[in-house]
C-alpha cells in the first residue's frame, strides 16, 4: 500500500449503509433523494441514444449543456458566465472537488476546512500533499466565527473550502459570511472552492447565495455543483465546475486525465431538460421543507430532538435524552436492534468529537419516514 493511503479509510456513510443492508434497516445514511426521476428526462436520454449520440463528448463537456448552465446562472445569480471558457462538465461533484484541489494545492499548502465537513475534502487535500486546517462550526447554530478563521489564515493558506447549503448541518451561510470571506482573502493568492450542490434545497424563508454574486470572491472561486440532487439522478454521476477562465484552464488539465469525458447522451438530455423543465427543480425548496417539517413532527413523541435547519435534505438530531452512549456505538445499536441506520456526526470531525448528534437523510417517501419514526419511538434507554 502506498504511504499516502495509510490514513484513508472507508467512509462512515458507506459503513453504515452496508450495516443497513445486512440488518434490513431503513437506510437514512446516504445523501440521495428517493424521489422519482423525471420520465421526460429519461425519455430524452433514450432519444439521444437512438439518435446516435453515443461517442466521446468533448473533454470540457458538450457546448449545449454548458450554454444551458450559463443561461441558468444568469437567471439565478445575474452573473454572465462564458460557456466556452468557464464551465467544465465533470464525473459528479466529487470528481470536481478532486480535480479542483489537485489543480491548486501543492505539497505543504494549507487548506481551511469548516467542520463538521463533507468527508471527501480532507482526504483529497492530504492525497495531494496539502495540510487540512480545521475551523469548527459550533452547535446548535453552526455559525462561522470569523475571528477564529482569521487566526488560521497564514502565508501558506492556498485554499478555503466552503459549503452552503451545508452538509451535514443544513445551515445556509449569510451575506455577512461572504462579505467577511471576501475581506479575509483580499490581496492573497487564496483560491476558494465553493461546494453548492444543494443550491435548490433551501427552504423558502432562506435564500441561497453563491460566491458568484460577490465580485471579489468570484474572481478567485471555483463553484462545484451537480445535477444529482437537483434532478434526482445521483447514479448518473454528472457534475460541473464554474470558474474564471484562468482557473478553468488549470482544472481542465487535471480533468482530462481523471475522467477524460462524461456520458454523451445524458449531457444532451440534461441540456434539453434545463432549457425546458425549469419548474421541476426551482420549487425543490418547498418540497423539502414539507418533508423536513413532517419528519420533525413525527419525532415529537420520541426522545429525539431535531436541530434547526435551513436546507439540504439532512437533519441533525440530538439523542442525549435517549442515551448517553457514544454516538458510534449508538448508531450501530439503532441499525441492529431497531432497524434505522443513520450517521454519527462525530465522523464529520477530524478529532471525532462526540456531541450526541446524528445525521438523518429525510429525502424519503412519507410512509418510510413514518416507519422510521415509529421504530425510533421504541428505542430504550441504555
* CATH number of the CATH domain containing 124: 3.40.640.10
| Residue at 158 is within a domain | yes
In this predicted structure, which of 31-45, 254-268, 360-374 has the lowest mean pLDDT? 31-45
pTM attached to this predicted model: 0.94
Domain containing residue 306:
3-30+283-376
Domain edge (last residue) among 224, 244, 278: 278
Asked whether residue 96 falls in the same domain as residue 234, the answer is: yes
| Residue at 48 is within a domain | no
Q: How confident is the model at residue 2 (pLDDT cuts 50, 70, 90)?
A: low
Cα 164 from Cα 223, distance rounded (Å): 11
Domain count, the chain: 2
Asked whether residue 156 falls in the same domain as residue 297, the answer is: no
Asked whether residue 267 falls in the same domain as residue 289, the answer is: no
Mean pLDDT (the chain, rounded): 93
| Residue at 170 is within a domain | yes
pLDDT tens, position by position, 137-150: 988 889 999 999 99
- What's the per-residue H, E or C state across the chain? CCHHHCCCCCCHHHHHHHHHHHCCCEECCCCCCCCCCCHHHHHHHHHHHHCCCCCCCCCCCCHHHHHHHHHHHHHHHCCCCCCCCCEEEECHHHHHHHHHHHHHCCCCCEEEEEECCCCCHHHHHHHCCCEEEEEECCCCCCCCCHHHHHHHCCCCEEEEEEECCCCCCCCCCCHHHHHHHHHHHCCCCCEEEEECCCCCCECCCCCCCCHHHCHHHHCCEEEEEECCCCCCCHHHCCEEEECCHHHHHHHHHHHHHHCCCCCHHHHHHHHHHHHHCCHHHHCHHHHHHHHHHHHHHHHHHCCCEECCCCECCEEEEECCCCCCCCHHHHHHHHHHHHCEECEEHHHHCCCCCCCCEEEEECCCCHHHHHHHHHHHCCCCCC
pLDDT tens, position by position, 211-246: 999 999 999 999 999 999 999 999 999 999 999 999
Assess whether pLDDT exceeds 90 at residue 132.
Answer: yes
Give the pLDDT confidence score for residue 208 in this predicted structure: 95
Give the pLDDT confidence score for residue 15 in this predicted structure: 83
Give the pLDDT confidence score for residue 3 in this predicted structure: 65
Summarize the confidence of residues 357-371 as an average pLDDT.
Answer: 94
| Residue at 43 is within a domain | no
Q: Tell me whether strands 357-361 and 343-344 are parallel, antiparallel or unpaired.
A: antiparallel
Q: Tell me whether strands 340-341 and 239-242 are parallel, antiparallel or unpaired.
A: unpaired
Judge whether 37 and 176 are in contact, CB under 8 Å.
no
Asked whether residue 104 falls in the same domain as residue 241, the answer is: yes
Asked whether residue 189 falls in the same domain as residue 246, the answer is: yes
CATH code of the domain in which 293 resides: 3.90.1150.10
Neighbour order of strands in the sheet with 343-344: 305-306, 314-318, 357-361, 343-344
pLDDT tens, position by position, 28-85: 998 778 778 999 999 999 999 999 999 999 999 999 999 999 999 999 999 999 999 9
Asked whether residue 8 falls in the same domain as residue 80, the answer is: no
| Residue at 47 is within a domain | no
Asked whether residue 85 falls in the same domain as residue 21, the answer is: no
Residue 209 C-alpha from the chain's centroid: 15
Q: Any residues with CB less than 8 A from the CB of 357 and at least 6 apart, and which?
A: 139, 307, 316, 317, 318, 319, 327, 344, 345, 346
Asked whether residue 140 falls in the same domain as residue 157, the answer is: yes
Domain edge (last residue) among 230, 256, 278: 278
Provide the grid cell at 369.
419516514
Give the pLDDT confidence score for residue 286 in this predicted structure: 92
Q: Tell me whether strands 314-318 and 305-306 are parallel, antiparallel or unpaired.
A: antiparallel
| Residue at 38 is within a domain | no
pLDDT tens, position by position, 77-99: 999 999 999 999 999 999 999 99
Give the pLDDT confidence score for residue 352 in this predicted structure: 81
Provide the grid cell at 315.
437533519
Asked whether residue 63 falls in the same domain as residue 133, the answer is: yes
Assess whether pLDDT exceeds 80 at residue 11.
Answer: no
Cα 10 from Cα 14, distance rounded (Å): 7
Assess whether pLDDT exceeds 70 at residue 5.
Answer: no
Assess whether pLDDT exceeds 90 at residue 188.
Answer: yes
Asked whether residue 124 falls in the same domain as residue 244, the answer is: yes
Give the pLDDT confidence score for residue 31 in this predicted structure: 79
Asked whether residue 184 falls in the same domain as residue 316, the answer is: no
Q: How confident is the model at residue 4 (pLDDT cuts 50, 70, 90)?
A: low
| Residue at 344 is within a domain | yes
| Residue at 381 is within a domain | no
Summarize the confidence of residues 198-204 as an average pLDDT.
Answer: 95
Name the residue among 235, 205, 233, 196 with its Cα closest to residue 73: 196
Residue, of 15 and 76, whose pLDDT is higher: 76
Domain edge (last residue) among 235, 260, 278: 278
Cα 191 from Cα 322, distance rounded (Å): 43
Give the pLDDT confidence score for residue 235 in this predicted structure: 93
Give the pLDDT confidence score for residue 35 in this predicted structure: 79
Asked whether residue 274 falls in the same domain as residue 302, the answer is: no
Residue tagged 505539497 (cell numbers): 107
Give the pLDDT confidence score for residue 30 in this predicted structure: 84
Amino acid at each position: 500500500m502506498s504511504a499516502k493511503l495509510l490514513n484513508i479509510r472507508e467512509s462512515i456513510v458507506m459503513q453504515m449503509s452496508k450495516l443497513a443492508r445486512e440488518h434490513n434497516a431503513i437506510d437514512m445514511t446516504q445523501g440521495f433523494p428517493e424521489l422519482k426521476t423525471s420520465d421526460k428526462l429519461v425519455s430524452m436520454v433514450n432519444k439521444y441514444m437512438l439518435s446516435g449520440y453515443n461517442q466521446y463528448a468533448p473533454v470540457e463537456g458538450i457546448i449545449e449543456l454548458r450554454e444551458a448552465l450559463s443561461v441558468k446562472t444568469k437567471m439565478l445569480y445575474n452573473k454572465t458566465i462564458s460557456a466556452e471558457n468557464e464551465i467544465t462538465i465533470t464525473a459528479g461533484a466529487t470528481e470536481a472537488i478532486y480535480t479542483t484541489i489537485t489543480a491548486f494545492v501543492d505539497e505543504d499548502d494549507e487548506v481551511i476546512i469548516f467542520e463538521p465537513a463533507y468527508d471527501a475534502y480532507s482526504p483529497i487535500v492530504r492525497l495531494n500533499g496539502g495540510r487540512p486546517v480545521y475551523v469548527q462550526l459550533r452547535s446548535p447554530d453552526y455559525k462561522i466565527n470569523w475571528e477564529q478563521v482569521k487566526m488560521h489564515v497564514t502565508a501558506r493558506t492556498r485554499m478555503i473550502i466552503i459549503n452552503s447549503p451545508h452538509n451535514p448541518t443544513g445551515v445556509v451561510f449569510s451575506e455577512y459570511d461572504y462579505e467577511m470571506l471576501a475581506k479575509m482573502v483580499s490581496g492573497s493568492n487564496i483560491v476558494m472552492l465553493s461546494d453548492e450542490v444543494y443550491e435548490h434545497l433551501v427552504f423558502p424563508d432562506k435564500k441561497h447565495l453563491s460566491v458568484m454574486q460577490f465580485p471579489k470572491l468570484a474572481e478567485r472561486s471555483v463553484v462545484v455543483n451537480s445535477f444529482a440532487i437537483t434532478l434526482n439522478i445521483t447514479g448518473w454521476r454528472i457534475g460541473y465546475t464554474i470558474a474564471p477562465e484562468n482557473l478553468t484552464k488549470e482544472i481542465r488539465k487535471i480533468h482530462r486525465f481523471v475522467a477524460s469525458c462524461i456520458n454523451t447522451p445524458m449531457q444532451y438530455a440534461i441540456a434539453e431538460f434545463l432549457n425546458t423543465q425549469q419548474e421541476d427543480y426551482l420549487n425543490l425548496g418547498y418540497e423539502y421543507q414539507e418533508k423536513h417539517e413532517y419528519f420533525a413532527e413525527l419525532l415529537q413523541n420520541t426522545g429525539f430532538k431535531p436541530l434547526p435547519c435551513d436546507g439540504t435534505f439532512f437533519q441533525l438530531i440530538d439523542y442525549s435524552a435517549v442515551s448517553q452512549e457514544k454516538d458510534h456505538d449508538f448508531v450501530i445499536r439503532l441499525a441492529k436492534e431497531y432497524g434505522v441506520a443513520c450517521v454519527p456526526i462525530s465522523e464529520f470531525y477530524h478529532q471525532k468529537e462526540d456531541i450526541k448528534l446524528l445525521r438523518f437523510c429525510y429525502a424519503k417517501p412519507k410512509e418510510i419516514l413514518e416507519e422510521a419514526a415509529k421504530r425510533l419511538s421504541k428505542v430504550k434507554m441504555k
